[in-house]
Amino acid sequence: MKIGIIGTENSHAMAFSKLLNLPDPNTGKVRYEDARVAGVYGPDMETAQAIMDMTHVDFIAGGPEDFFGRVDAMMITCRRGSEHYQYAMPFIRKGIPCFIDKPFTTDYEQAAELIGKAKENHVPLSGGSGCKYVYDVLMLKRQVENLVAENKFITASMNFSLVMDSVYDGFFFYSSHLTEMALAAFGYDMKSVNAFEKNGSVITVAHYENFDITLNYTDGSHDSSCIIFSKERNFYRQIDISMLFEHEMDHFINMLKTGKMQTSYEDLIKPVAVLVAVNESFKTGKEVAIK
């Protein structure tokens, strides 16, 4: 399977290209024998050339249209989520499976259009934050489900870093990680949010039907963790995301091989709805319902 990448200015593009094209330094074997990155498009030429030099891709595209007829799937990895729609839509229209990096988009209507066209053309999609796949988040999900079933869950608090003043769409650039970890661990049926910004951090109370949780988008923190408060005891877990690229790629390659999505269309668009609601809430000071 030949894969194209758009958005080489993102370090994710290099990481994915290395995983697909280079052998493991310890085993000498490639991770996926039947898939590789065939071509890349910057639009930044310097980073595109660096990926070509390091991972031996076949070509640097002169534009997105150069991928048609030369690849079987696409990865959209632009650092600005606001650019994902314009690059992903032409490939979805052509029936080409896509991975769309985090944040899926920064605009709910654009995300809905991408999903609508993908459903119409039966195009499988993958993407968002790979943090939702890591072991610690899966263990938190299991623990929350058990505590809720036993009527012992009270609330929880989770954090991840934020770069509010990022030139790459500000709040939206890093906030997808915490949002998607929370949805994976506590459920995708989040109803509304109250958010407050101070000194570059955003504290959010996320409301579910039967409980609330606190999401801490923390400026300057380098670690992520979660504490669960229950009627039994409190549980603390540090969240290790060191293998997120491998998890993302495993899910994407499995989707390409089977044609079956590992994450539903609805679960791909929900984080965008949450991000838009949080962004509106801390700007207006009001509780905002999630679409």
What pLDDT shows up at residue 255?
A: 98
Residue 38 is given by DSSP the state E
Q: Edge to edge, what strands does the sheet with 201-207 contain?
A: 234-238, 225-230, 153-162, 212-219, 201-207, 192-198, 288-289
| pLDDT tens-digit readout, 131-176 | 999 999 999 999 999 999 999 999 999 999 999 999 999 999 999 9
Q: Which domains does the chain have, with CATH numbers?
A: 2-129+245-263 (3.40.50.720), 131-242+272-289 (3.30.360.10)
CB 198 within 8 A of CB 217: no
Q: What span, in angstroms and rounded, lies between the C-alpha atoms of 27 and 31?
A: 10
CB 39 within 8 A of CB 67: yes
Tell how many helices (H) and how many strands (E) occur in the chain.
8, 13
Longest alpha-carbon distance in the chain: 59
- Where the chain has pLDDT below 70, the residues are none
CB 272 within 8 A of CB 105: yes
Looking up tokens 């890591």, which residue turns up?
A: 134
Q: What span, in angstroms and rounded, lies between the C-alpha atoms of 105 and 11?
A: 18
What pLDDT shows up at residue 17?
A: 98
14 Cβ contact list (under 8 Å, min separation 6): 8, 47, 50, 51, 54, 55
Looking up tokens 């910004």, which residue turns up?
A: 197
| pLDDT tens-digit readout, 40-64 | 999 999 999 999 999 999 999 999 9
Does a cis peptide bond (omega within 30 degrees of 0) precede residue 97? no
What pLDDT shows up at residue 130?
A: 96
- Encoding tokens for residue 155? 């609330």
Determine if the pTM surpasses 0.85. yes
Q: Which of 266, 265, 273, 289 has its CA nearest to residue 106?
A: 273
Which is it for strands 234-238 and 153-162: parallel, antiparallel or unpaired? unpaired
What pLDDT shows up at residue 222?
A: 86
